[in-house]
Amino acid sequence: MSGPGGGEEVIRRSVRERYGGLARGRGSGCCGEGETSCGCSSPGSSQGETGAGGCGGAYTESELAGLPEGSNIGLGCGNPSRLVSLAPGEVVLDLGSGAGVDSFLVAGRVGPTGHVIGVDMTPEMISRARELAQSSGRTNVEFRLGEIEHLPVEDASVDVVLSNCVINLIPDKGQVYREAFRVLRPGGRLAVADVLATRPISEEMRNDPERWASCSSGALTVEEVTDRLLSAGFESIEISALGGDSSVESLRAQDEIGVVPGEVRATKPGGPRR
């Protein structure tokens, strides 16, 4: 699938400019002017918890209370850490880590013997996340500048890969999943909160860089995501389209083209079952 205007660099530039501006406190969120959640109004996670911050209460108040101030800038469309069990000592990779909200959240769950790596292509986001890690004394979290299609991470070196409303922004999603598969250890788990398309998206909308960068026209259907995960080598694939409330202002652009929040789980074969 090509990106807006048939060029992947058009997407990268549009996304980098938008999220770089957000890291500097300028610009609009991924739903458009004045909005900061990626068009998600699902009732929290699949566990039904409620809370605050991004995507219809994706994080509980207690979760947010333990995070560095300024790490949650409301750009997610769920809470991927709730989609997977985590154990002390595990290594977690956060794809498109932004200001670090999900990285910091899981850092507390893997503990001082664990390690969290956040990867983001936006220098401003990486700078902000690194400053927050240092000022808050999070020594088990690091942030690396890079594209999630070409991860600066060694083969078979992480236990869990997370991502929150980022993969839809990438032109070659199959390459993202292949990279996630590469860096996971045998038996490693993938947990993704992202937007999903409930019907085909027109080429006109696909070719609109503003729609693409706003977490809309880059979404794939459940079937398309499943195909890419299978091609990458994953098994035990579970994908849920959660739906949304089209009466909510921040959802109207997504509702127009049939995009809703969703959850994706998968496993790399070869390790112990969990």
Summarised one tens digit per residue, pLDDT across range 161-199 is 999 999 999 999 999 999 999 999 999 999 999 999 998
Tokens 């959850």 appear where?
A: 263
> Could you tell me whether strands 220-221 and 141-145 are parallel, antiparallel, or unpaired per DSSP bridges?
unpaired
Q: How far is residue 53's CA from residue 79's CA, in Å, rounded to a whole number?
A: 10
Mean pLDDT of the chain: 81
Under the banding of pLDDT at 50, 70 and 90, the label for residue 57 is: low
Those residues whose C-beta lies under 8 Å from the C-beta of residue 98, and which sit 6 or more positions away, are 19, 23, 73, 75, 118, 120, 122, 125, 129, 164, 166
Q: Give me the phi and psi of 210, to 5 degrees please.
A: -70, -45
Distance of CA 49 to the CA centre of its chain: 19
Q: What is the pLDDT of residue 12?
A: 67
Domain residue extents for the chain: 4-267
SS3 at position 224: helix
**pLDDT > 80? residue 29:** no
**pLDDT > 90? residue 127:** yes
Q: Under a CB-based contact definition with an 8 Å cutoff, are residues 88 and 108 in contact?
A: no
Q: pLDDT (tens digit, 9 = 90+) per residue, 88-126?
A: 999 999 999 999 999 999 999 999 999 999 999 989 999
Element (H, E) at 272: none
Under the banding of pLDDT at 50, 70 and 90, the label for residue 142 is: very high
Instruction: Indicate the DSSP class of residue 198.
Output: S
CB half-sphere exposure, 183, CA atoms < 13 A: 24
Q: What is the pLDDT of residue 74?
A: 74
Comparing C-alpha atoms, which of 37, 115, 50 is closest to residue 77? Answer: 37
Tokens encoding 155 = 């083969």
What whole-number percentage of the chain has pLDDT above 90?
54
DSSP string, 1-41: ---GGG-HHHHHHHHHHHHHHHHTT-S-BTTBTT--SSS--
- The correct CATH number of 4-267 out of 3.40.50.150, 3.20.20.70, 3.40.50.720, 3.40.50.2300 is 3.40.50.150
Query: What are the Cα distances from residue 258, in Å, to 25, 164, 202, 205, 242?
Result: 30, 19, 11, 12, 12
pTM comes to: 0.83
Q: What is the pLDDT of residue 50?
A: 38
Tokens 């959802």 appear where?
A: 251
Positive or negative, the CA dihedral 58, 126, 144, 142 is negative
Comparing C-alpha atoms, which of 203, 209, 239, 205 is closest to residue 221? Answer: 239
Positive or negative, the CA dihedral 195, 197, 198, 204 is positive
